[in-house]
Structure 1
Amino acid sequence: MMLSARVPMLICWGPELVTLYNDAFQAYLGSGEEKSWFGRSLDKNIAFWTSLGSVVSSVMAGSDAVNLPDQDLHLAAHAGSERIGLKCSVSPLMDDDYSLNGVLITCLPDGSAVGTRQLQHSDLEKSAARLRNLVESAPFPIGVYVGREMRIELVNQAIIDVWGKGNDIIGNCYAEILPELAGTGIYEQLDSVYTTGKAYEAKNQRVDLMIDGHLKLFYFNYTFTPLRDSDGRIYGVMNTAADVTDLVVIQQDLRHAEASLRGAIELAELGSWELDIPTGKVTYSRNIQNWFGFGDQQMPLDQVYEPIHPQDRDRVNSAIAQALLPGSDGIYDAEYRLIAYKSDVQRIVHARGKVIYDNQGVAYKLVGSAQDVTAERQQQQQLEGLVELRTKELAAANEELAAQNEEYIAINEELEKANQLFIRSNENLQQFAYVASHDLQEPLRKIQQFGDLLHRQYGAEIGNGLNYLERMRAAASRMSTLIEDLLSFSSLTSQGSDNQEISLQAIIKGILPDFELTILETGAIVQIDELPVIYGNRLQLGQLFQNLLSNALKFRQANVAPMVQIKSAKLSSTDLPPSVKPARRTDFYYQIEVTDNGIGFDEQYQERIFQVFQRLHGKNEFAGTGIGLAICAKVTENHGGAIMATSSRGHGASFKLYFPVIGHA
């Protein structure tokens, strides 16, 4: 912009005051002077420089801008003896780091100067138009505000787009267009630049702009520079800016990520490190500093080896050298022991790293992490010791087991012999059942028949011997009943093969007619609830409930009508009484309860009553062989269930049967 301006301007830059001046200033030097760009100094012997040098030195030393509106500085043109009077303004210039590093000198001809090179008014207008075009086409935001109220005089499209207020903003005050900036200090910054003449610059400044009714966050690098007229008076402020929102957000995200990573590393009790290969210096995180006992965050590599166990140093050095070899995978992996400075604490550290290469493929960094694995290695050693101990114990146990196996083999041989004896005993039992049903029954029937015959034909003649005859006939009858019960019990050695789904309701209804006469004679009441269907043998289940109903009606109290109730319920296996041990385990069971109001029995006999030939009453008081309840227990066992009884004398008895629910193993 300076080079194309029609106003005479020059820049003096750096310690050597290297000079750049525009065409308008070149015109005052005359055609004999060559245009000088950066790298060539203006001739300091000319009268112009002699007069202005002290002012430039003062501004370069740090003073504010200097205006010389009332003093003519004369420059002798090389083209002739004509002298031109100029009014000059010297302003400081900043470099990219906003450090003072040069001056800008603006020259305006005074009103009395006469000459062919005097600037014309039309030239100034053209220069202003050119400057406006340059501002408007600049790719970064630029705005010019005039007056103490900061009225907008010139803005480019870049700043219009950032503000998001539309294009019709020229002539409005800065605060009217951007009211959301109240309280942020920006109004005060502009006013300070206008009143003091000192430029203001901000780096990565947060600015919230109202766009489409919503505050939107931005970050800017911006400057407010005072604008002066030909007399050096401040008439406005120029605003230049760079939108660095994306960069700042990325930097913030990076800082957050780094903080999160550091937090995660600390929580995981890890450490991070970085080896700068050209300098040989290693930078550590706090955890590793503590492990090694370092006081500084950065240490030379040769000092890093000192806390490492002497026997492990060569291995660590070799692992680093291997990772740095050209053509290697660049992976560093080493585990070593170390003892921190001024400490007797020994640690075991596992470190891993990766070589980082520059664009030319040269390794310049080795970065990685480390973990204190002392506890893990101690546990591993303890575990290995425990495994070794257990291995020895297992070997000894195997020897004992081998000896026990020999014993078991001998026991199995004995069990096999016992099983053969059991098989022969079972065969003998079956033969006994056959003999009992055929050979014993036949002479017993003859005794009963001859007894009946003697009683009918010679009863009157026998006289007193009739009593013995009756006793003989009764004994024969009991013998016959006993043989039949023994046969029934021996037939229940296992559940039959004709198992099927059986309705217990149907079983009870099927046997009730057998007790019809007894029920009528005694006035008994039998109440039956809805009973379930189970999987079993119809014949055996019939025997079971026939015996239970027979006992309930038989062992009744005198002058009391029998009351028999049959109820059912479904129970979980966890709800079974502790004393009940079913033959088959399943999740659910049917509980069938048969209760009566009979004479009952003492509960000390509740286990004994299910044994063969066990009677709690005299044979003359109640008929029976003592096998009926043994049959009941055998039937429930054959069906995978169990039976229990509860009672007390004179208060009836309760028999509870438990059968597995169909569909549950």
Structure 2
Amino acid sequence: MNFSVIDIESEMLRAVIDETPAPTALYTGANMLIKLANKAMLNVWQRDESITGMPFDTALPELDKRLLTSVLYHAYQNRQLVELKEQRIERVINYRPKAFYYNFTFKPLINSDGYVWGVLHTATDVTEQVESRFQLAEAEERLRLAIDSAGLGTWSIDATNMQVYPSARTKEFFGLKADEELLFNDALSRIGEMQRPLVVEAINKAFEQGGGCDMEYPITDPKTGRQRWVHSTGKLYYDTTGKPSNYSGIMIDITGRKQEEIRKNDFIAMVSHELKTPLTSIKSYIQISISKAKKLNEDFITGALTKADLQIVKMTKMIRGFLDLSKLESGKISLSPEVFDVSDLISEVVTESRFINSNHFIEIDRNDSVIINADRNKIAQVLDNLLSNAAKYSPLETEIYVNSVVSEHEVIISVADKGIGVKTQDLDKLFDRFYRADNEIMKTVAGFGIGLYIASEIVHLHHGKIWVESKEYEGATFYFSLPLNK
């Protein structure tokens, strides 16, 4: 043995160990005497330099219970590097015991003669990482318990292959057993026919533009024919490179609430339908009376009856709105497509709207002619709703402009006003059912918040789009597009 070499190497290690920020110690001899220990290691042990020269198991008997001593001797005797991950060490901080976690390494030191003259011991504090993992695991367990308790189903769609990863509860919603596979197209086929295109559109939009969705739709079990309604929310998540990774979310069974809504809508539909007959009779009597009053030159009576007739028209539109709402909610609304020229329809609707909204100036800026195949009455209803909405929220005797512009694939119809405008936070909610923006002006305007909702649903049934551009107090422009026939 060349002890001078050992002494030289020991002195060199002393300088290195003292300057190392990580806890480090050097043990020598068959008894593993503590030759060196820097301040960081002494802090871990909660000892001072007086333990220098003592055997490891004598100086630190409490660590012997942690098997560190046996591991240390194993590294020395078998000339092998030994690593211990996330070893728990209790230290007293401010008179209170606290657990810390370390990664330990024990490296045998061998001289040129092949003699093991010591073991270098290093420690890396991984307490923060371990505690974070524990906290994450605890949070995930709490989330799982909350999801299970609430009866929620979870799902995820892989962005690369559109593979669906549903929970057992989600599979149950789709009429599958826990061990059965749910394919993407199979899942779509079980969603209600009316809502299916909207679900596909929401998923495609999420993968292309990011964001999420919040929607309700029915799911039918093809084996039993049982239908249940779910409320589903989802969000797009990205990988570390910024590419879409998966589209994930939760869903909950809302069948009970939805059935109650359907019963309510059926009642509204029944009442609305019963009101149509007397209103039609009243309108007929009023029109006959107007005709006779004009022949007798009764200007006051003619004017009063004309105003009454106008109110009948407004009430009829309101009843039609409730009927359409009930049909939409119950999935019974249908389209009756026909071929017609959009420009002719716009001229007709604007003419009628000028009569009803006589306190505003409704002008047609541009009205391109194009033939489409759609439900003429329902498209007229969409435009009429937008014009009524513009008049309702615009000052009297202001202009409302209508435009119809044809492009290669679609026709875009717009209604622009000089009204109160829309707040930024309300833009995405305007087409929601029963939604009305919250401001002082809105409280003075009558309405139920169903006109724009019905308009958006009709446009979506035609595979079109509807949107609004506006700033508060600067007016608003509502657009809707319809695809052209090929």
Of structures 1 and 2, the larger Rg is shown by: 1
